[in-house]
Amino acid sequence: MNLLWVVLAFIVTLGPLVILHEWGHFFAARRLGVKVLAYSIGFGPVLFRRSDKQGCEYRLSAIPLGGYVKMLDSRETEITEEQKAVAFDHQSQWKKVLIVAAGPLVNFVIAVVLFFMLAVPAKDVLSTRVGAVSPDTPAATVLKPGDLITEADGQPVKQWGEFNQVLAGYIGESVELPLQINRDGQLLSTELPLKQFMANDTQISPLEAAGLITYEPLIIPTIEQVEEGGAAAKAGLKPGDTILSINAKPTPSWFDVVRLIRANSEQDVQIEVARGSEQLVFAVALSSQKDAMGKRSGYLGVGVAQAPIEIPKDYQTTINLSLPEAFMAGVQQTWSLSILTLDGIKKMVLGLIGLESLSGPITIANMAGESLEMGLGVMVGFIAYMSVALGVLNLLPIPGLDGGHILLHTTEALIGTKMPEKIWMVVTIVGFSALLVLMGTAIFNDIVRLFA
């Protein structure tokens, strides 16, 4: 991906979320009779401005990492006695809470709508029937190819996305995850042993970490293209070669090749191929490539012929929801991801997950670029997830975030008076310090991933 594409993807996916988040504050303020002075997309120097008849200035600012709504407030500017009725700081506490909470609420509504849109069309998807299990993984101890996972932790699961989400809830933990499986027509109960699950590697999917491989069609690994100047070309591999093994491990399918190559980033490997009637062995110095999270994987520089793939019926399931069911699926997905996000934050605080899993704007931009390349459905799902994350993070009770203001106004409502300035100042300094540390850690992680 080039830089222009990444920037474009970042703007297309996250820009509307920021605009609508701030619109939530703007809409609530106006509906509740508070005067809005400015509605800005971005921070810093103003690039464009225009005012409406009610005196609100609409701004487009230079730094596109957020935005703000500026309301009339006597703590920031002198106001007349008549203006107190429309000044934010002279409103009741419940009005203040509603105005502040409206931004994150809009993000949750957006997520529900987008997940609803994704759930409406009927579609055939991969069922939770196990295609294969990776050796020396949790799945290898209790599951076999062909097993159909029907329940996980007491929840029915029909597709891999649902099971992946259940596993994600146990990142950093050591548990015996209850499973119900259908093995050759017989229902069995078992437990998947997860020990400090993904505590040190949150850059792979939970399914991969558990050792589960979904259905994979048999694609004979006969090379069709060899990338000029790539590792394969330098070693002497040619179109028409069929890869038989890598480091003496048989590779009957293209997927076996992919797994072994990815696992040996920038390593020397022995690749055995069939070329006509000969069997040849090549010493190949693999190169590497980096994903959006900065994880490097081995790269060979070859491609195979694209052949039509037919998935057996017993590895598929049909998802066909009514409109009410699709709406409830959108609500459930938004709720589940909100809980997962909060759970992830809690586990970072407790040290169950390393801070290296935090992502900043650079990683998010790269992920946005990848989602855009993968098609409309993936992009919509990514936007929905980011909307949930934006809503949840803004509700954290940290000064400077919406949640910090909600905490302040709720506390003042409960004690019946304004929070003493000195106490709030201390809370604000501590909160902002924590926020700066988190932001600094996320950006540091971005830089490490970028140059790793």
Which of the listed CATH numbers 3.40.640.10, 3.40.710.10, 2.30.42.10, 3.60.21.10 matches domain 223-304?
2.30.42.10
Q: What is the Cα 252 distance to its own chain's centre?
A: 33
CA 47 to each of CA 54, 60, 66, 214: distance values in angstroms, whole numbers, following the listed order:
21, 6, 15, 50
Among 22, 78, 224, 310, the active-site one is 22
Of 25, 12, 38, 14, give the one whose Cα is nearest residue 361: 14
What does each of the 452 residues of the chain score in pLDDT, given as a tens digit? 556 766 777 777 788 888 899 999 999 999 999 999 999 988 889 899 999 988 899 998 887 777 889 999 988 888 888 889 999 989 999 999 999 999 999 999 999 999 999 999 998 889 999 998 988 899 999 999 999 999 999 999 999 989 988 998 888 888 999 999 999 999 999 999 999 888 776 567 888 889 998 888 888 999 999 999 999 999 999 999 999 999 999 999 898 999 899 889 889 999 999 998 999 999 999 998 876 556 778 999 999 887 777 888 989 999 999 999 999 999 999 999 899 888 888 877 777 776 666 665 555 555 555 555 566 777 888 889 889 988 998 998 888 789 988 988 898 888 888 877 777 778 778 777 777 777 676 666 656 555 55
Q: Under CATH, which number does the domain 123-213+311-319 receive?
A: 2.30.42.10
Rg, C-alpha atoms of the chain: 26
What's the number of CA atoms in the CB half-sphere (13 Å) around residue 364?
20
The CATH 2.30.42.10 domain(s) of the chain lie at 123-213+311-319, 223-304
Active site residue 22: yes
Terminal-to-terminal C-alpha distance of the chain:
17
Place of tokens 């062995």: 281
Distance between CA 428 and CA 425 in Å, rounded?
A: 5
CA 283 to each of CA 65, 239, 268, 310: distance values in angstroms, whole numbers, following the listed order:
48, 17, 7, 35
Of 373, 376, 131, give the one whose Cα is nearest residue 259: 131
